[in-house]
Amino acid sequence: MSLQGREGNHNNNPLDKDESNAFLDFQNSDFEKITGLKPEQVAKSDDSEIIDAERAHKLQEAIDQENSSAYEDLDDFVYRQNKKRARTSGKRHHHRHRSPSKLSPGHKGSKIRKNHKHKHHFHKHHRRRMKRWQKIAVGIIAALLALIVVAISLLVLMINSGKNSLLDKEGLNIDAPKNAKTVDNGEYIIYKGNKYKYNDNITSILCMGIDKDTLNKVDGEVGAGGDADSIFIIALDLSTGKSKLINISRDTMTDIGIYSTDGSYIGERKAQLALAYAYGNGKETSCHNELVAVRQLLYNIPINSYLALEMQGIGEINDAMGGVKVVSPETIGEFKKGKSYTLRGSMAQSFVRSRSHATVQGNSLRMERQKSYIESFSSSLFNKTKSDIMSPLNIYNVASKYICTDIDANKVSYFSYTAVRGGYNGFEIKTVPGKTKAGKKYAEFYVDEDKCFEMFLDVYYTKVGKVE
């Protein structure tokens, strides 16, 4: 129903006009709908004033209803516009109803429907959902990170545990020669007017290369464990990462423990150091017997670890390193003096194991080849460890079926950590001094006691002053 005037007065409220003029603006059909009376009926009525008042009242109600409907439409339009802005901006909002009096000058300010409720509209931020493959990828990355954290934690624990076991010096009880004096079981040594202090940061590892091809006899007793054909000690300073290697001749004449085949201790006798390994089970008891003999030879120095490697495993371990480059110090077999070789497989075993029996110096020359091999092997292993700290453990796993050792994964981890931290400058290799003589059957090496003790002090002690 249109309540606007026919003369184009679209913005004027009909009640602002003269009441008589306002009535003229409505057609008869509109008049009848509003008042319920036909024009001719009104004209005939005697109560024209009452009818005119009633018509005016109903007309006002119709105008108010139309205005109220228009305000609601405008209010809804404002809400829709605000909702559209919220979607584009992504921000939370609510709309306000404007006062009807501000929307139209003809509004009286109080005629809005009572059942209209003022509502606030809130809109949440919409987060983009992850696809299934993205969730899987995030899960895998999280799992890998967790594994890395666990691995690093375990490695730290292994390193700390390894350090503690390597620096255990409960057995320090140095048995110095007669021309030296020990203080506090060897914590200090006085020798030729100088005072020396034991280096608490050094750990010693006895390394043995084992040949099990033959049985050994000493005065009728049979040793079935094999020979320790190569014997050396690695003295590693854990505070600096520097190491010294003490090379000991297998032919060194010293006191060794003799055991029967059933493991019963018989006693000690002077024999080649290599034979100490023979009197045992070829594993732990043989290693222990060799370790005791070496300790006695070197003034009862604490030896914290041992490792015995069967020579048959050298080729496989060598190949796990990708081959080892050496220069032969002598001509023997397929090797020529001064020539370079990249050892692989059986060549590596032949290089470190073979020796000439034509001269009593055969073992001394072999020790020079072993020295060359150890230096090259250690350098290669260090380079691998720099790029992968687990390399020593990998080599250890390859060698495990050929070795007998009390070096566990904790010690290996600490060795790796020390090597990477301190860098690698090679071994300072020292050889126990002495002379080789021809024995009744075999070559015999006799230690020069004074020179040997001075070498011992140089490796394990630090000079701290003079004694008056």
In this structure, which CATH number among 3.10.560.10, 3.30.930.10, 3.40.630.190, 3.30.70.2190 belongs to the domain 167-466?
3.40.630.190
Q: Where are the domains of the chain?
A: 14-103, 167-466
Query: By C-alpha distance, which of 336, 365, 370 is closest to 351?
Result: 370
State the DSSP code for 251.
T
3-state SS string for 57-121: HHHHHHHHHHHHHHHHHHHHHHHHHHHHHHHHHCCCCCCCCCCHHHHCCCCCCCCCCCCCCCCCC
- Which pair of tokens denotes residue 427? 């071994």
pLDDT at 426: 64
Query: By C-alpha distance, which of 233, 209, 225, 230 is closest to 258?
Result: 225
pLDDT at 280: 83
Residue for token pair 């006009």: 17
pLDDT at 160: 57
pLDDT at 248: 95
Beta-carbon contacts of 188 under 8 Å, excluding residues fewer than 6 positions away, are 182, 195, 196, 197, 198, 464
pLDDT at 171: 67
pLDDT at 37: 57
Residue for token pair 């009390």: 406
pLDDT in tens, the chain (468 residues): 344 444 444 444 444 444 444 444 445 555 565 555 555 555 444 455 555 666 667 667 766 665 666 556 555 655 566 655 555 554 444 444 444 444 444 444 444 444 444 454 444 555 566 667 767 777 777 777 776 666 655 555 555 555 666 666 666 889 999 999 999 999 999 999 999 999 988 889 999 999 876 555 555 455 667 889 899 999 988 888 788 999 999 999 999 988 876 777 888 889 999 999 988 888 898 999 999 999 999 999 999 889 999 988 899 999 988 899 999 988 888 999 999 999 998 899 889 888 877 776 777 788 888 888 888 888 888 788 777 777 777 887 888 889 898 887 777 767 766 666 665 566 788 999 999 998 888 889 999 999 999 999 999 999 999 986
